[in-house]
Chains A and B, each alone.
Chain A
Amino acid sequence: NAGVTQTPKFQVLKTGQSMTLQCAQDMNHEYMSWYRQDPGMGLRLIHYSVGAGITDQGEVPNGYNVSRSTTEDFPLRLLSAAPSQTSVYFCASSYSREKSYEQYFGPGTRLTVT
């Protein structure tokens, strides 16, 4: 199993550009989520999904879109990048029903918006 994979590892964008961060998992997990990590602020939930076709907003959803057309993939779209979106982004997945709930994290994408 590859686990949770994320691409790209690094990205630099100019203000106003758009891009998609890719996330995929091969563990047949129902639950997938996107977090951003900023110094001193821990992990903040952006969007999450409990299954294909179902998404919901987390704590900091503004400026981001997601979709879940398959169980495996959960891309995060930045519509019009802003310097405030400079951060490290992590994708995670887990079972959502009564199994273990521990989340498996991808290696992260470091995004800089200039």
Chain B
Amino acid sequence: AQSVAQPEDQVNVAEGNPLTVKCTYSVSGNPYLFWYVQYPNRGLQFLLKYITGDNLVKGSYGFEAEFNKSQTSFHLKKPSALVSDSALYFCAVRVSGNTGKLIFGQGTTLQVKP
């Protein structure tokens, strides 16, 4: 069965420090992977995706993610965190087949302290 895991409920980091939000996945076939961000009382916003090609994917707001096939991981990273990055982050994987259906992880709250 296809699944996504985000092992950390919350990640705390000081402003200016690098951040990592972890995601591992289990899929059959080649994975299509996504990161979304949710600010308080808002819908989810697309950050970045991995479909194929370079393992390091760059996205919105200075975020990037590294696809690691051997470790089945797709961790979200940013070199220097901002207080405004504080939000809820979701990793997702596309279900195989031509439906567009995604499976989401549980979400990780990122708290960036000044």
Q: Which residues of B contact A97 (CB under 8 A)?
A: 98
Q: Is A45 an interface residue (CB 8 A)?
A: yes
Find out whether the CB atom of B34 lies under 8 angstroms from the CB atom of A102: yes
CB contacts under 8 Å to B, within A24-43, are 30-31, 33, 35, 40-43
A-B pair number, CB within 8 angstroms: 65
- Taking CB atoms, residues of chain A closer than 8 Å to B106 are 40-42
Indicate which residue in A35, A92, A102, A104 contacts B49 across the interface (CB closer than 8 Å).
Answer: A102
| Inter-subunit contact B100/A103 (CB<8 Å) | yes
Q: Complex formed: what's the CA distance from A61 to B77 in Å?
A: 35
- What 0/1 readout, one digit per residue, does chain B (85-100) give for beta carbons within 8 Å of chain A? 0000010001000111
| A106 close to B (CB within 8 Å) | yes
Q: Which residues of A contact B57 (CB under 8 A)?
A: none
Chain B residues with Cβ under 8 A from A42's Cβ? 90, 104-107
Beta-carbon contact of A104 and B90 below 8 Å: no
The size class of the interface chain A forms with chain B is: 20 to 34
Taking Cβ atoms with an 8 Å cutoff, the residues of B that contact A are 9, 32, 34, 36, 41-46, 49, 51, 90, 94, 98-107
Closest 8 CB pairs between A and B?
A: A31-B100, A105-B43, A96-B100, A42-B106, A43-B104, A105-B44, A102-B46, A94-B100
24 CB < 8 A contacts A-B: A4-B43, A31-B99, A43-B44, A43-B104, A43-B107, A45-B103, A48-B99, A90-B43, A90-B44, A96-B98, A96-B99, A96-B100, A97-B98, A101-B49, A102-B34, A102-B46, A102-B49, A103-B34, A104-B46, A105-B36, A105-B43, A106-B43, A107-B42, A108-B43
